Amino acid sequence: MSTTLGYNQNPFASSHSLDANPFDDPQEQHVDARLEQIRQRELDLERREQELNTKAQHIRQHGRKNWPFFFPLIYHDIAEEIPEASRPLITRLYQLWLVLFGTLIINMVACIFILIAGSSDGGRDVGASIGYIFMITITSFLLWYRPIYNGYMKEQSLYYYLYFFFCGWHLLFSVYMIIGIPSTGSAGLIQTVQMFANHHWVAAVLGLVATIGWILQGVGNAWYYRQIYAHHNAVGHTMEKAKTELASHGAKAYFTRG
């Protein structure tokens, strides 16, 4: 009798002790998930802060120079410095400059093979083509690419007129190189046709590639030259503004980022 009463005094004790679990509360789980999200955000913020500190330390030690990557001399960042609407155009101009650089190298190699093929003017072609790699690469970047880069970054008239002047000369130089007159350092059309005619296939193919490169970058630059000229007129840049900017800032405006 006493045993039966003792059992009936708490008939649900066993089931209650098994089913009760304070961690099954949905609100508790939501709080835990929220805390995990906050922890992940804090980790992301710490990581970003570390990246910014590392970048700031690099700038303090080396300045903001990042181009060219193998020996930084200047700061060049289209995504950061050029307005979003103008980035595609400046990116295409930069790509055309890279095509120019590649074409100069291929042109030099073609001239070497033209010399090997027995051209009487091969020595002059090789010498001039080597000089072009250094002279044209540097002057094209500084005299027409960099001015229009600065022009779209600062929207100042002076840079546009520098670009129009020097890029105009570059377009004429491109036509000159496309023609390929012997002894001029160009493996253009005339030289390429001669190599094909004399069955010097390596020199001929390299000359053809160089000619295509000259045409590609020349036509591309001419196309964007027109677009930039139209933009220059639409914005209202004038020679008077350019003179005023030159008088106010002088040559230092070319090198400053402000």
Q: Count the neighbouring beta carbons within 10 Å of the beta carbon of residue 118.
A: 10
- The answer as to whether 117 is a domain residue is yes
Q: What is the pLDDT of residues 212-255, one digit of tens each?
A: 999 999 999 999 999 999 999 999 999 998 889 888 876 666 65
Are residue 123 and residue 194 in the same domain, yes or no?
yes
- C-alpha 249/C-alpha 153 separation (Å) is 16
pLDDT for position 61: 55
Place of tokens 């609100």: 27
Of 8-12, 16-20, 213-217, which has the strongest mean pLDDT?
A: 213-217
Higher pLDDT, 59 or 20: 59
Q: Which contacts qualify for 119-127: CB closer than 8 Å, 24 or more apart?
A: 119/182, 119/191, 119/194, 121/182, 121/183, 124/183, 124/184, 124/185, 125/182, 125/183, 125/184, 125/185, 125/186, 125/187, 125/191, 126/185, 127/185
Mean pLDDT of all residues in 37-43: 82
Higher pLDDT, 146 or 65: 146
- The answer as to whether 195 is a domain residue is yes
pLDDT for position 42: 80
pLDDT for position 245: 82
Are 133 and 243 within 8 A, CB to CB? no
Are residue 43 and residue 102 in the same domain, yes or no?
no
- The answer as to whether 54 is a domain residue is yes
Mean pLDDT of all residues in 141-155: 95
Are residue 148 and residue 195 in the same domain, yes or no?
yes
Q: Which of 62, 77, 98 is the last residue of a domain?
A: 62
- C-alpha 51/C-alpha 91 separation (Å) is 26
Q: What is the pLDDT of residues 165-187, one digit of tens each?
A: 999 999 999 999 999 999 999 99
Are residue 151 and residue 215 in the same domain, yes or no?
yes
pTM of the full predicted structure? 0.75
Q: What is the pLDDT of residues 83-104, one digit of tens each?
A: 999 999 999 999 999 999 999 9
Domain count, the chain: 2
Are residue 51 and residue 101 in the same domain, yes or no?
no
Domain residue limits at 48: 13-62
Are residue 90 and residue 58 in the same domain, yes or no?
no
Are residue 47 and residue 113 in the same domain, yes or no?
no
Are residue 45 and residue 144 in the same domain, yes or no?
no
Are residue 128 and residue 206 in the same domain, yes or no?
yes
Residues β-bridged to residue 201: none
Are residue 17 and residue 103 in the same domain, yes or no?
no
